[in-house]
Amino acid sequence: MRERALVIGASGGIGSALAAGLEARGAEVTRLSRRANGFDITDPASVEAHLTALAGPFDSILVATGALEPGGHPPEKALRQITAESLTAHFALNATGPALVLRHAPRLLPRDRRVTFAALSARVGSIGDNHLGGWHGYRAAKAALNQLVHGAAIELARSHRQAICVALHPGTVATPLTEKHGARHDRVAPEDAAANLLGVLDGLTPAESGLFFDWAGKPVPW
């Protein structure tokens, strides 16, 4: 049976590379993005309309959305730079949106076989790994996403015993998100990042559902 995958944010650098990587290995990929079909993960009505229209089932659902400067709000370097507007924008895109997609996972994922749900998080969302501070909105939203994925994994395991639901850190990828803020880090091409992430997902088992992994398959602390 041909693998079926749903990629959310499929017009972005990592999302498009994930979709292409899945197609290269023979999967049938459904792509959703704001640019291609008006899917807006920050708009609950848009998420509901697009995902309700899908029949499924999908063997994998990948949420590849996210931004460091949603709505043009730059990452905070100090507490005095925190604003309600910036926090709202970060949570809408980086946490609430993926959570709204998760609502549909029990219906879209089959119960009789191994399935995966993965959301792109970021190492800076790790509370245990935060030694620098700053970037408060982005860090907090990604930490919230990690908690949402962990809770979803617990619930999915009750009805989908072979489900794997994880948060993934893709590394520093050469996309518009990292052009301004990732210059000091080695950046990898989106195609390489996608291959790394798909390889991680292929190697996971249901016993590892609910965890947070980096691009090399190493666990990231909460």
pLDDT tens, N- to C-terminus, the chain (222 residues): 789 999 999 999 999 999 999 999 999 999 999 999 999 999 999 999 999 999 889 999 999 999 999 888 899 999 999 999 999 999 999 999 999 999 999 999 999 999 999 999 999 999 999 999 999 999 999 999 999 999 999 999 999 999 999 999 999 988 666 565 555 657 799 999 999 999 999 999 999 999 999 999 999 999
C-alpha angle 67/129/136, rounded to 5°?
40
pLDDT in tens, 19-66: 999 999 999 999 999 999 999 999 999 999 999 999 889 999 999 999
Query: Rounded CA gap, 149 and 30, in Å?
Result: 22
Sorted by where each begins, the domain ranges of the chain are 4-214
Burial class (CB in 10 A: 0-12, 13-18, 19+), 124: middle
What would the two tokens of residue 136 be?
Answer: 């408060």
Superfamily the domain 4-214 falls into: NAD(P)-binding Rossmann-like Domain (3.40.50.720)
Contact 60, 105 (CB under 8 A): no
How many whole angstroms separate alpha carbon 181 and alpha carbon 198?
25
| Selection from 48, 36, 156 nearest residue 97 by Cα | 48
pTM exceeding the 0.85 threshold for the entire prediction: yes
